[in-house]
Amino acid sequence: MLRGLYAWVLSLAARRSAAIWLAIIAFVESSVFLVPADVLFLPMCLARPQRSYRYALIATVASVLGGVAGWALGYFAYESVARPVLAFYGKLDAFEQMKAGIDDRWVLILLVTSGLAHLPPIKVVTILSGVVHMNLPLFVVSAVVARGGRFFLLALLLRRYGEGIARFIEKRLGQIVLGVAVVAVIGYAAVRVLEH
């Protein structure tokens, strides 16, 4: 099922309505959808490099709005809507573990790592942000920085280096961002230890 869904999203890149589909996929990815917007974003930027920044803007705005929808699901409808969505994707147990004892600063780190590298999936973090009642303006600013940073960096790299960098991104970007995220989490944990 997942491969079929992935192939369907990839096929949207060739349509005239690709930019609209990009907005839809980026929106739902941030709240309930399994396939990342990159599946559509990368081929669109490779096909029309001159529109890469436009596509990055569309993906960022839609992703942030989808994130706000995920935040609202967590804040207002966790039991009735968000729990069943997380259970459907097999993420409920991991979510419940993450939720226990987490504060706004950890959610902020998760939002940045998720926005940049899908670690953990963005929909999980947006819902978690609402569940822990993270300040909405702070959430929006963080989402803009993380998601915008990802899409605009990808647009820049794809415009400059084309298909070669696309292959590198598909294989290595997650590992690079994971390394940066690990350093950030270790740094945060060290600061917390020194505070006590």
- Number of other residues whose CB lies within 10 A of the CB of residue 60: 24
Domain extent, residue 186, equals 2-195
For position 23, what pLDDT does the model report?
93
Q: With H, G, I as helix, E, B as strand and everything else as coil, classify residue 62.
A: helix
pTM, entire model: 0.78
Query: Rounded to an integer, what distance in angstroms lies between the CA atom of residue 34 and that of residue 25?
Result: 10
What is the chain's pLDDT, residue by residue, as a tens digit (196 residues)?
Answer: 446 655 666 677 777 888 898 899 899 988 776 677 888 888 888 888 889 999 999 999 999 999 999 999 999 998 898 888 778 878 788 788 878 878 777 888 888 877 777 677 788 888 889 988 999 999 999 899 989 988 998 899 888 887 776 666 666 656 665 665 565 556 555 555 555 5
- Cβ distance 36 to 108 under 8 Å? no
Amino acid at 146: A
Task: Spell out a b/e string for 80-103, using b for 16 or more CB atoms within 10 Å of the CB, else e.
Answer: eebbebbeeeebbeebeebeeeee
For position 4, what pLDDT does the model report?
64
What digits encode the pLDDT tens for the residues 63-93? Answer: 999 999 999 999 999 889 888 877 887 878 8
Q: Where are the alpha helices (DSSP H) in 30-119?
A: 38-47, 52-76, 83-88, 92-99, 104-117
The tally of domains found in the chain comes to 1
The two three-digit tokens of residue 148, written as one number: 């915008």
Closest CA to 35 of 23, 44, 43, 26: 26
Amino acid at 32: V
CB half-sphere exposure, 11, CA atoms < 13 A: 6
- Number of other residues whose CB lies within 10 A of the CB of residue 70: 29
Query: Rounded to an integer, what distance in angstroms lies between the CA atom of residue 105 and that of residue 119?
Result: 16
